[in-house]
């Protein structure tokens, strides 16, 4: 099977004045369809650079990056934008929804920037379906400031899914969320992954990484470990445990 992601000897060197900083050095990696992978590492380990490269926001200095079989490391700006639009669903730490814009319209946004013209009615239907998938169909007309953090992140997931991308790319998706909501989001990810969607996620929390299937650890711009997760967390199971704990602590009835 053709890998979704194929990194071949990727280098990323930043030049600030006279100083050269190598953020990623000679990294090779493949991600197969249906994988659920966590890229981990301390700050400065190069995981953010990896994320930007994987997300086609940035081009590697050296090396080849094949996304869904297409070499994207040489594409110009606007074509990279099209790749981001069609093949990648972005989920950010800070949700990055457009404020004062309804959940539905936020989800419609990627379709507006697609090369293909979509009728407004179809756009709406597709956006509603994506919102249903994350369980927020009832709140389609809410603006982000009327949604909780978890709900906002689910709107962001719906937005990421709406163009049916080859993979979801999440940058610290639970970074701004409490533990319970984090589990909710991981539950959503696991459900999507079971439907066959490839997910790559950057996180620095080992707990969160245990919901994925594969953990890649980076340090100083190189991959230091790449393991299959053995005792994987199941989000539903963890949620049940958490509820029990809360009941015991009389936090909830």
Partner 1 sequence: MKLTATFRIALRALKRNKMRSILTMLGIIIGVAAVIAMVGVGNGAKAEVEAQIATLGKNMILVFSGSMTSSGVRGGYGAAGTMKIEDAEAILRETPGVTLVSPEIRTSAQVAAGNQNWYTSVLGESEDYFEMREWEFTEGSSFTDQDVRSANKVGVIGKTTAQMIFGEEDPVGQIIRVRNVPFRITGLLKSKGFSLGGNDQDDVFVVPYTTAMKRLTGATVLRGINVQAANDDVMTRVQDQISSLLRQRHNIRPGHDDDFTVRGQQDIAEMATAQSKTMTILLGAIASVSLIVGGIGIMNIMLVSVTERTREIGIRMAIGAHGWDILLQFLIEAVTLSSLGGLIGIAIGFATAESISHFVGWPIMVPPVYVIGSFLFSAAVGVFFGLYPAKKAAALDPIDALRYE
Cβ at position 192, least distance to partner 1 in Å: 18
Cβ at position 98, least distance to partner 1 in Å: 6
Cβ at position 226, least distance to partner 1 in Å: 25
- What track of x and - describes contact with partner 1 for positions 72 through 91 (by CB under 8 A)? -----xx--xx-xxx---x-
Task: Please tell me whether residue 29 binds partner 1 under the rule CB under 8 A.
Answer: no
Of 112, 135, 146, 241, which lies in the binding site for partner 1, with binding defined by CB under 8 A?
112
Residues numbered 146 to 165 that lie near partner 1 (CB under 8 A) are 159
DSSP secondary structure of the chain? ---SEEEEEEEEEEEETTEEEEEEEEEEEEE-TT-EEEEE--TTSSHHHHHHHHTTSS--SEEEEEETTEE-TT--HHHHHHHHHHHEEEE-TT--PPTTS-HHHHHHHHHHTSSS---HHHHHHHHHHHHHHTT-GGGTT--GGGS-HHHHHHHHHHHHHTT--SEEEEESTTTTS-HHHHHHHHHHHHHHHHTT-EEEEEES-HHHHTTSSEEEEEETTEEEEEEE-SS---HHHHHHHHHHHHHHTTS--
Which of 20-28, 105-113, 141-149, 234-242 is the region at the interface with partner 1 (rule: CB under 8 A)? 105-113
The residue among 109 and 239 lying less far from partner 1, judged by its C-beta, is: 109
Of 58, 187, 207, 220, which lies in the binding site for partner 1, with binding defined by CB under 8 A?
58
Binding interface with partner 1 (CB under 8 A): 52, 55, 57-58, 77-78, 81-82, 84-86, 90, 92, 96-98, 100-101, 109-110, 112-114, 117, 159
């Amino acid at each position: 099977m053709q890998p979704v992601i194929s990194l071949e000897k990727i280098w990323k060197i930043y030049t600030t004045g006279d100083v050269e900083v190598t953020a990623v050095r000679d990294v090779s990696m493949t991600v197969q369809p249906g994988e659920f992978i966590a890229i981990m590492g301390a700050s400065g380990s190069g995981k953010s650079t990896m994320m930007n490269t994987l997300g086609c926001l940035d081009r590697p200095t050296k090396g080849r990056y094949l996304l869904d079989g297409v070499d994207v490391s040489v594409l110009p700006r606007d074509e990279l934008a099209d790749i981001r639009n069609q093949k990648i669903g972005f989920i950010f730490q800070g949700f990055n929804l457009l404020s004062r814009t309804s959940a539905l319209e936020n989800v419609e946004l990627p379709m507006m920037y697609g090369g293909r013209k979509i009728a407004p009615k179809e756009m709406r239907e597709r956006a509603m379906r994506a919102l249903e998938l994350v369980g927020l169909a009832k709140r389609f007309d809410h603006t982000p400031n009327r949604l909780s953090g978890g709900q906002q992140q689910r709107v962001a997931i719906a937005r990421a899914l709406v163009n049916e991308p080859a993979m979801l790319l999440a940058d610290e998706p639970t970074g701004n969320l409490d533990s319970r909501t984090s589990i909710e989001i991981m539950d959503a990810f696991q459900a999507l992954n079971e439907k066959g969607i490839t997910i790559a996620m950057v996180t620095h929390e080992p707990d969160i990484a245990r919901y994925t299937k594969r953990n890649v650890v980076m340090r100083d711009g190189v991959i230091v470990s790449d393991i299959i997760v053995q005792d994987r967390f199941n989000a539903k199971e963890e949620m049940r445990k958490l509820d029990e704990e809360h009941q015991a602590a009389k936090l909830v009835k």
